[in-house]
Structure 1
Amino acid sequence: MLARLRAFARGLKAELLALSLAARDSRTPWLARVLALLVLAYALSPIDLIPDPIPVLGQLDDLLIVPAGLWLVLRLIPPDVLADARARAAANPARLGRSAWGLGLMLALYALAVWLVWRWWAGH
C-alpha cells in the first residue's frame, strides 16, 4: 500500500511538471493556462486551504484538491501539447520547488475570499 502511494506521488509530481511545461506552450488555450496556474500555485504554495498540521484533513485536501484540479486542467490541454510536455518532462525531470508566486497568488485568493465573505456578511 505504501509503495502504491509513493508511486502515485511520483506520478503526480511528473504530471505537475508536464502541466507547468504545457502551460507555457503557445498552443495551450488561455482557460487551460489560467487553471494550470491556479493548480500549480496551490500545489507549490507553502500554504494550503486546510493546514497540514490538522490531523487527516490537512493531508486529505492535498490528496483531493491537487489531483482533481490536475485532472480537470489536463482534460483542457490539447493531446499533442500534453504529449510533448510529458515527453519533455520525462527527458528532463526537474524538481518543482516551492513557489513565491504561488504563495502570493494563494494569499491574494484568500484575501479576496475573506473580503467577499465580509461584504456578504455586512450586507445581511
Structure 2
Amino acid sequence: MGMSFTHRIRIEAHAVWLAVRDPRTPLLARLVGLLVAAYALSPIDLIPDFIPVLGLVDDAILIPAGIWLFEKLVPAGLMAEHRATAAAAAERPVSKWGIAIVIALWALIAFVVYEFLMLGYD
C-alpha cells in the first residue's frame, strides 16, 4: 500500500532539511532548501487548511515546487541519499523557523491590508 501525498511531502521536506545541513550542498541550494524545509515542516500553514481549496494549495503546489527547485540546485544523487535517511527516520522535526516565517508573513499581510484600508482615512 502506498503512502499518502502528505506523508510523502513530509519525507521529501525532511530530506531537504538533511541536505541543507550537508556541506556538499551549494549555498544557494541551502538558502532555498532552508525556506522549503522550514515551511513544509512547520505545524502551521501560510494558507490555513480550513480555507476551502486555497488551504490545500500550499501543500499541493508550493512545497512540491520548492522541493523540485531544490533538487535542481544540489549535486546529483545527494537528494536520493538524504531521502533514504528521511524515509528511515520515524519522527520528523518540527520547524520553529517555519512557524516564525509564517507568522512574519501573516503579520506583513495584515500590515499591508491595514495600510491599504487606512488610505482613505488620511
Superposition TM-score, scaled by structure 2 size: 0.75
Post-superposition shift, 1:64?
0.7
Equivalent position to 2:98, from 62, 79, 102: 102
SS for the counterpart of 1:79 is coil
State the Cα distance separating 1:10 from its structure 2 match.
Answer: 3.2
Does the 8 Å CA contact 2:10/2:40 hold for their aligned counterparts?
A: no
- Matched-pair identity in %: 49
Q: CA contact under 8 A between 1:36 and 1:73: conserved in structure 2?
A: yes
Shift of 1:62: 1.5
For 1:1-124, what aligned pairs fall within 5 Å after superposition?
A: 6-90=3-87, 92-111=88-107
* Corresponding residue pairs, total: 117
Q: How large is the RMSD of aligned CA atoms in angstroms?
A: 2.7
Q: Residue 82 of structure 1: CA displacement?
A: 2.0
Q: Which runs of 4+ in 1 moved over 4 A?
A: 109-118
Give 1:114 shift. Answer: 6.1
Gaps of 5+ in 2: none
**1-structure distance, mates of 2:10, 2:40:** 10
**Conservation of the 8 A alpha-carbon contact between 1:45 and 1:99:** yes
CA deviation profile, 1:49-69 (whole Å, cap 9, x unmatched): 222111121112211111111
Gaps of 5+ in 1: none
User: Where is the helix percentage greater, Structure 1 or Structure 2?
Assistant: 1
User: Any idea what the Cα deviations from partners look like across 1:20-72, whole Å, max 9, x if unmatched?
Assistant: 11111101001100111101111122332222111121112211111111111
Q: TM-score, normalised by structure 1?
A: 0.74
Using the alignment, how far apart are the partners of 2:78 and 2:19 within structure 1? 6
